[in-house]
Amino acid sequence: IPKARSQTERDIAMPANLTRRHTAALAILMACTPLASLADSWPAKPIRLVVPFPAGGGTDIVARDVSHKLTTAAKWTFIVDNKPGSGGNLGIDTIAKSAPDGYNLVIGQTSNLAINATLYNKLPYDPVNDLTPIGLIGSAPQVLVVPANSPYRSLADVVAAAKASPGNLNFATSGNGTVSHLATEMFQREAGIKLTHVPYKGASQGINDVIGGLVQLYVSSVPTLLGHIRSGKLRPLAMTGLKRSDDLPQVPTVAESGYKGFEAVTWFGVLGPARLPANVVNSVNSELNKALTSPELRKKLEDQGLDVTPGTAEQFGQLIRADIVKWGRVVKASGARID
């Protein structure tokens, strides 16, 4: 049986108990202090901006244009870090698992934040819970083209031919599960037609095959196809955005062609890991929006086929959540799947 302690012993023991509690509280406070201190003095060192695709691609060009403008305007230093792999998942996962100190950001887009959530059997990150949306940069529509000598001169011509001979018309894209592929799958549902998908591993071979007449239709981004359209090798029939492209003002949208509300675009935005300090989010969002109003940067992005759309972090988060649902339905209906 334990011996009862005297009052003196209890008085001596009590400060030790209090000390342990105080030590625990102090440890928690100290653990939080570095993050708070970093947030207060941010940025005190270069910011890593991960691009989840190879150098030279569309996402990389957008990232470098935006980071260059932020460097000159806000006097922040960026290190662009290309981490391609797994359809953009590798780069996004790198940031999702990084410290939320404001020094690790990423350029995300429709495929790796909205489509891949359903397309892949298992993602290493949760696009909603593991990331902090900061700001939208802009969005780019797709354009549906046919060879210059094609008999199809409008989207209505394509629909009529597809209904007359279901499955006999081929459409090419740069791969399964891309925005181009799923935009066309979405349109097939809207129009009640059946086309046959011919996926390529990149844009160039698909373009050559449609120019050569081996494939009847091709769907891709405006910058990818613009040169071939202007040279007269390809004929554009419809844009997948809600408004016409400044580069192709004569080309109607799918919505204008009788499918009200149709929209399928690739958007780009800046994100950080979850639990990013609010003042970091607000600072980056504010400077990003200022940069996007610059005529110089706007022209560069518009030359890449982007419709520049600055906004709040909350609006960007709402877009991501809405598009996960939207594209999830299309992925499931198409049967596209990557393990």
Q: What is the pLDDT of residues 229-250, one digit of tens each?
A: 999 999 999 999 999 998 999 9
**Strands 265-273 and 104-109: what pairing?**
antiparallel
82 burial type by CB count under 10 A (0-12 exposed, 13-18 middle, 19+ buried): middle
What does the block give as tokens for 279? 């003042």
Residue 29: predicted pLDDT: 46
The more confidently predicted of residues 176 and 195 is 195
Answer yes or no: is pLDDT of 100 > 50: yes
Give the pLDDT mean for 302-307: 89
Answer yes or no: is pLDDT of 10 > 60: no
The more confidently predicted of residues 191 and 31 is 191
Residue-averaged pLDDT of the chain = 89
CA 29, CA 294: separation in Å to the nearest integer?
42
Percent of the chain topping pLDDT 90: 77
Give the pLDDT mean for 259-282: 96
Confidence of residue 174 (pLDDT cuts 50, 70, 90): confident
What's the N-to-C CA distance of the chain in angstroms?
63
Residue 15: predicted pLDDT: 45
